[in-house]
Structure formats: structure tokens, C-alpha cells
Amino acid sequence: MTSTRQSTGIAELDEMLGGGLIPGTLTVVLGATGIGKTQLGLQYAHAGKSQEGEAGILFDLTSRGDAQNHADYAQRMFGWTLSTDWQTLHPERLRQPDDVWDKEKARSDFLHLFQRSGKRVTIHDLDPDEWREWKIELMKKLDATIAYFYGNFVHGVRRCVIDGVEPTETASDSFQIHVFDYIYHQVLRKEADWLARDLFRVHFRQNEEDVKRHPYDCHEIGCLLLQTTHEVLLDDLLSRPIESGDILSNANTIILMGKVRDGLTMKRALHVAKHRGSRCDDAIVPFEIGENGLLIS
């Protein structure tokens, strides 16, 4: 594992984290809708531009068709125009060497493949036929997902933000968590040459020399998962139990974002609840949302 910490894009939060986030590990940010998770994710992604030479990428798991406003936030906060041209490419094209190895074609900032307008996010919401249909559709979309991540990683991207995980009664009933689990273990943490085999399949041999010329270390990839919760108050998040199948049990770092009472007003605050392998500030820290994202008081 690399010893170089990844900046969150917020100096005060980096200090709380002992210098930043640890590459090759999972960081989960928990908080209710509108608390500032997406802004934090964009600050982390944008910080990759100065630290690694490439901005991080964004992957939206939202399945109900509602927008997360990533493009608007990125433009307003940094003057960053998210490139989304990759979505127009069919994954079969990205198995052709000219597309994968061409940075202009393979490199993109944002992808939202799992749109199912009007659908909820639990397995119980689907009858058996719909669930089988969803799994068939899922396999096709995971094929495109592999191409998206691999195409970015071979061109220098070293951090990703996965947004849009919506709250469910139990983690095991969320098909978004099932999708994330696959992406995290079978894409982000898979060795580059083996992920290339998953992408190219029968065409791997004809691309093998290019694969060798474009190596990357999967242990250098940082991952920030933004998960929406029912809980709004920070106190409720602090007492939130970890369930079977909960991604929090595998997270190296957990950042909680919620509302706290300050006299007759409510304010935003965050707390680093878990940070393995490093010193960690135990403070509950107030923050505000400004034009440039999170501002820690």
C-alpha cells in the first residue's frame, strides 16, 4: 500500500485524518440528503488534479432518475466542466484498442448508467420476473462499468467517488449495495491485467502488449462512497448500528455528516468515526456549505 495520503481537498479535514485518506482503502461518507456529501465528494475528486495530475472520476448509482447535480456543482465550485462523452460509447467499442488506449476517447469524468426512473432501490420492490430482468440488465451495465473505470485508470486517474446510494431498511435488501460490492471488489481492487481480461475477453491476446504498456497499481486507487441515510441528526448517526452486510464493516474510514443543535438554531457538523492505520481527531467539527464547497469552522 502506498504511503502517500490523498487530500480530501479540505485542509482542515486532512489534518483531522492525520494527513488525508489512505489509497487502496474504502472511505464511506454518511449523511442525509442535502447535508453536503456531494460537495465533499467533488472536492476530493477535484484535488486529484493537483495531487496526481488527473481529477478523480464520479460514478452515480442513483436508480430513480433524479439528478445529483454533479455537473452544476462542479462548474460552480471549480469552473470544472465534467466530461460525459463516454456515455455515448457502446462498451463493445471500448474493447477495441484504438478507443481504450486513446485518452480523448476513454477518459471521462462522470458516468450514470443505473437509471431506472420511478423504481425504488430494494430487491423487495421487484417481483421475481422483474428481479431476473434487472439482473440481466445489470450484467450488461457492469460490462460498461468495467470499461469506464479501466479506461480512466490506465490514463492516470487514482481516485473515484461513488454517489447515489439511497437508504433502505436493511443493507442486504439494497441492490445498490450489491452493485457497489461488485464494483469495489471486482473492479477497483482487481489487478490491472486481470481487469483487462474481464474487459477484452476473447480479444485480450491482441491487446496484451498494450495492457503491459499501461500498468497501474490498484492499491493506489482511492474510493469515496457517499451514502444517504434516514438519520438527519449527527447524534443519531453516531448511535447507528452496523448491520450484517453493511459496507461500514469493511470501510477503513467513516465520516459522519449531520445536523447539531446550537441554541435555537441547527448547524451542520461532521465527525470522523473511524480511521484505521492513522491517528484520528475525535472532535465534532462544525462546517458550512459555501460557493466552493465545505468550509470547516
Burial class (CB in 10 A: 0-12, 13-18, 19+), 268: buried
**In the chain, domain spans:** 26-256
Cα separation of 221 and 26, whole Å? 9
Average pLDDT per block of 10 residues along the chain, 297 residues long: 82 95 96 96 98 96 72 95 66 60 89 63 71 76 89 97 86 80 95 96 91 96 96 95 73 96 95 88 94 92
> pTM of the entire structure?
0.91
pLDDT value of residue 118: 47
Which are the contacts of 273, defined by CB distance < 8 A and separation ≥ 6?
A: 237, 238, 254, 255, 256
For residues 184 and 254, what is the distance between their CA atoms, to the nearest angstrom?
A: 16
Cα–Cα distance, 149 to 172 (Å, whole number)? 25
